[in-house]
Amino acid sequence: MKRSRGDAGKTSPPIRKAAGWLGPVVVIAVVAVLAIIARPTDQSTAPAAGTAGSQQENPFAELARRAPGDPVALGEPDAPVVVIEYADFQCPFCGKHARETAPRLIREYVDRGLVRIEWRDLPYLGDESRAAASAARAAAAQGRFWEFHDALYAKQRRVNSGALNDAALRDIASRLGLDLARFDADRASAVTREAIDRDQREAASMGLTGTPAFIVGDTPIIGAQPYEAFKQAIDEQLDAP
């Protein structure tokens, strides 16, 4: 997929857990909102100029990192709308989104400077999920995260079947032309481990336990929803005064 460039595992649960998680959209969305609103504010730190009002209106505003040069983000740091995606590389519904919905979102919004997509790791399906997340982060260190992402989601694989074992991950890295010695070192590093752990803590703070989950500006979207659901949420925020 052509894209514009912007700046310890447990035994896996059955796949039906991921599928069943798509149902309680409203409940999980409410939990997410309440979890963020309930966070105590730091009274000793004054908000940056021009940010106080927007953060009060949008309880998810603090989640967007907007870091220039972030290798696991697509689009401009100052894009009007940030879409945050929490995903697992073994999740079949994440794969469905990656193959069917994301390309159109990138073409119609990211490439036009209207949306930024920020990736978050939520490898909850088991050992190979965590290994794949680490490998993708190692690819990111060489500027190839999204190519590795696409290779992982290119086809559906059985969960924790060995399809994403060490040899398979190194094969993808080799086919992408990565420095394998650096790839191996980076995926085992403390920096990679902490980056994944940080994403998981963020998801846990909102009560997110499955994938995919998205925060589209100030709107939670749970599950592999069709393109139209994302378009509606994005357009409403682009049209807001």
pLDDT digits over 122-155, tens only? 999 999 999 999 999 999 999 999 999 999 999 9
Name residues whose C-beta falls within 8 Å of residue 95's C-beta, 6 or more positions apart in sequence: 153, 155, 156
The reported pLDDT for the residue numbered 58 is 66
The reported pLDDT for the residue numbered 148 is 98
Measured distance CA(108)–CA(112) in Å, rounded: 7
Provide the mean pLDDT of the chain.
83
Range 52-59 average pLDDT:
53
The band of 60, judged by pLDDT with boundaries at 50, 70 and 90, is confident
3-state secondary structure of 151: helix
3-state helix, strand, coil in the chain (%, to 5): 50, 10, 40
Global confidence as pTM: 0.79
Does 13 score more than 80 pLDDT? no
pLDDT over 70 percentage in the chain = 76
Does 53 score more than 50 pLDDT? no
